Amino acid sequence: MHGIDLRFAAGRWTSIVGPNGAGKSTLLRALAGLLPHEGGVLLHGRDLPTFSLRERARQLGWLGQNESAADDLTVYDVAMLGRLPHRAWLAPPAPADHQAVEEALRATQAWDWRERLLGHLSGGERQRVLLARALAVRAGVLLMDEPLANLDPPHQADWLVLVRELVARGTTVVSVLHELSMALQADDMVVLAGGRVVHHGPCGAAETHAELARVFDHRIRVRSLEGQWITLPHD
Ligand SMILES: Nc1ncnc2c1ncn2[C@@H]1O[C@H](COP(=O)(O)OP(=O)(O)OP(=O)(O)O)[C@@H](O)[C@H]1O
């Protein structure tokens, strides 16, 4: 990837889209500081590498694609991992940690399975627990790669409500999404192709829709349905 110069406005939701292999996951991992790269990433105007790992983990919530997690942990303990950057070394969880975990598990409707082992959950259930782990951090910036993977339509809709609530409270959300109709619900869209940013603009702008159609070889169309932008396949 090269020539990437992006600024993500605080308190907005940006979706990153583009064809397979465009570099979406690579960009997100670079933003999270998980990938060695040239150039720099600034968080609140400060170089990311100057943050300690603990500080960075408090500031940046992360939900990766095919995220690994210990299958023999309970759902509750997995979500509690999100609180590690806030806890003193070997200290037991404080009431605030338990509160954050409960709120995160309830927000993803995973609270009822809190005693179950992660390894015993379905793909979509597991994804909701990993989302809860990311939410439990209560970071100001939340980076998510394919957060809707394995989620059924009602839980996709719940995710949308959740993201809107987070953004309304001032969280900055950046998500890689393959489902373009979901990606168009964001405030802003970054369109990638061939390792380059080909467009960065509001999801409602005609120019964004035109770039989207172009990078997908005009095999999609963007249409408005009941006040929402959606994409339709096009021959
Ligand atoms: N660990 C790696 N080592 C070498 N090349 C990689 C690695 N990860 C990704 N790539 C390459 O970098 C390019 C971008 O990959 P990336 O996973 O960022 O794309 P993407 O836009 O997220 O794709 P998809 O829609 O298929 O998930 C691809 O050509 C891929 O083969």
**Burial letters 82-115, b for 16+ CB under 10 A, else e:** bbbbbeeeeeebeeebeebbbebbebbebbebbe
Measured in degrees and rounded to the nearest 5, phi and psi for residue 225 equal -135, 120
Instruction: Choose the residue to mutate in 26, 143, 180, 190 for probing ligand 1, maximizing ligand atoms within 8 Å of C-beta.
Output: 26
| Mutate-to-test residue for ligand 1 from 1, 16, 24, highest number of ligand atoms within 8 A of CB | 24
Sequence-separated contacts (24+) of 211-219 with Cβ below 8 Å: 212/17, 212/180, 215/18, 215/19, 215/22, 215/191, 216/19
pTM: 0.93
Nearest CA to ligand 1 atom 3: 26
Q: Which pLDDT score, from 0 to 100, does residue 79 have? A: 96
Task: Give the closest residue (by CA) to ligand 1 atom 4.
Answer: 26
Cα 105 to ligand 1 centre (Å): 31
Pairing of strands 42-43, 46-47: antiparallel
Q: Which fold has domain 13-70+140-233?
A: Rossmann fold (3.40.50)
pLDDT of residue 15: 97
CA 71/CA 85 separation, integer angstroms: 21
Atom of ligand 1 nearest to the CA of 178: 25
* d(C-alpha 181, C-alpha 148), whole Å: 12
The answer, yes or no, to whether any atom of ligand 1 lies below 6 A from the CB of 66, is no
Say yes or no: CB of residue 22 within 6 Å of ligand 1.
yes
CB distance 108 to 129 below 8 Å: yes
Distance (angstroms) between ligand 1 centre and the Cα of 68 equals 18
**Site to substitute for ligand 1 among 4, 20, 25, 198, most atoms within 8 A of C-beta:** 25
Domain locations in the chain? 13-70+140-233
pLDDT along the chain (235 residues), means of 10: 85 96 93 84 87 91 84 94 89 94 96 95 92 95 93 91 94 95 96 94 96 94 93 88
Tell me which residue has tokens 């806030």. 86
pLDDT at 114: 96
